[in-house]
């Protein structure tokens, strides 16, 4: 590839050939697996401080084997009681929540039945008042005619009562 220079001459740039490198510096032609690619992506771009901290921690553990084995032994012997305790607490919490919900439903069920029945009674009573009121009012209008002592006129038209002021 020719590159033109300011003085009017052209020069060619050297072409990079990977095979011209020593064997240690040559790039392998194998494709990365998806796991390796994601691991390298995570280490390089997504969370470099955490990766650096893990490398530093690994270096520290490699230089202090007594501390490493002590912490490993402590972790392995403590994890089972911690898991059992956590499992017991979660199980007890779930059982207590279930019992509490069951007892709440024992109270809520009858309350909902009673209030439902009460709602039906109030609804029926309201309609009963309307029908009885129409029947009583109709008999009153039939006996007293249109006057009824008020300032308005009551007329029966097509089976319904009309009040005009």
pLDDT tens across 14-45, in order? Answer: 666 656 655 555 455 567 788 888 877 777 77
Determine phi and psi for 105, rounding to 5 degrees: -70, -30
pLDDT number for residue 134 = 84
Residue 134, in any domain of the structure = yes
Residue 90, in any domain of the structure = yes
Residue-level length of the chain: 165
Distance in angstroms (rounded) separating the CA atoms of residues 15 and 73:
57
Cα–Cα distances (Å) from 154 to 7, 130, 137, 138, 163, in that order, read: 116, 18, 10, 10, 5
DSSP calls for the chain: -EEE-TTS-EEEPPPP-GGGS-TTTPPP-PPPPHHHHHHHHIIIII-HHHHHHHHHHHHHHHH-HHHHHHHHHHHHHHHHHHHHHHHHHHHHHHHHHHHHHHHHHHHHHHHHHHHHHHHHHHHHHHHHHHHHHHHHHHHHHHHHTTTTTSSSEEEEETTEEEEE-
Residue 101, in any domain of the structure = yes
pLDDT number for residue 148 = 47
Domain span holding position 138: 64-143+152-165
Q: Do β-strands 10-12 and 2-4 pair in parallel, antiparallel, or remain unpaired?
A: antiparallel
pTM: 0.42
Residue 138, in any domain of the structure = yes
Residue 163, in any domain of the structure = yes
Residues 99-107, mean pLDDT to the nearest whole number: 96
Residue 136, in any domain of the structure = yes
The pLDDT tens digits for 114-136 are: 999 999 999 999 999 988 888 88
Domain count for the chain: 1
Residue holding tokens 């990365």?
32
Residue 20, in any domain of the structure = no
Residue 118, in any domain of the structure = yes
């Amino acid at each position: 590839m020719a590159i033109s220079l300011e003085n009017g001459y052209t020069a060619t740039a050297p072409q990079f050939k990977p095979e011209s490198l020593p064997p240690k510096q040559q790039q392998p032609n194998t494709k990365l697996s998806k796991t390796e690619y994601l691991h390298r992506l995570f280490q390089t771009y997504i969370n470099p401080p955490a990766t650096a901290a893990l490398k530093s921690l690994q270096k520290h553990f490699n230089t202090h084997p007594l501390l490493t084995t002590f912490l490993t032994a402590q972790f392995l012997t403590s994890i089972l009681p911690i898991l059992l305790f956590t499992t017991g607490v979660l199980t007890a919490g779930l059982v207590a929540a279930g019992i509490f919900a069951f007892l709440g439903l024992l109270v809520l069920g009858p309350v909902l039945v009673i209030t439902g029945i009460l709602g039906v009674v109030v609804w029926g009573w309201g309609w009963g008042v309307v029908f009885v009121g129409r029947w009583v009012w109709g008999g009153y209008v039939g006996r007293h005619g249109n006057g009824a002592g008020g300032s308005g006129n009551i007329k029966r038209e097509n089976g319904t009562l009309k009040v005009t002021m």
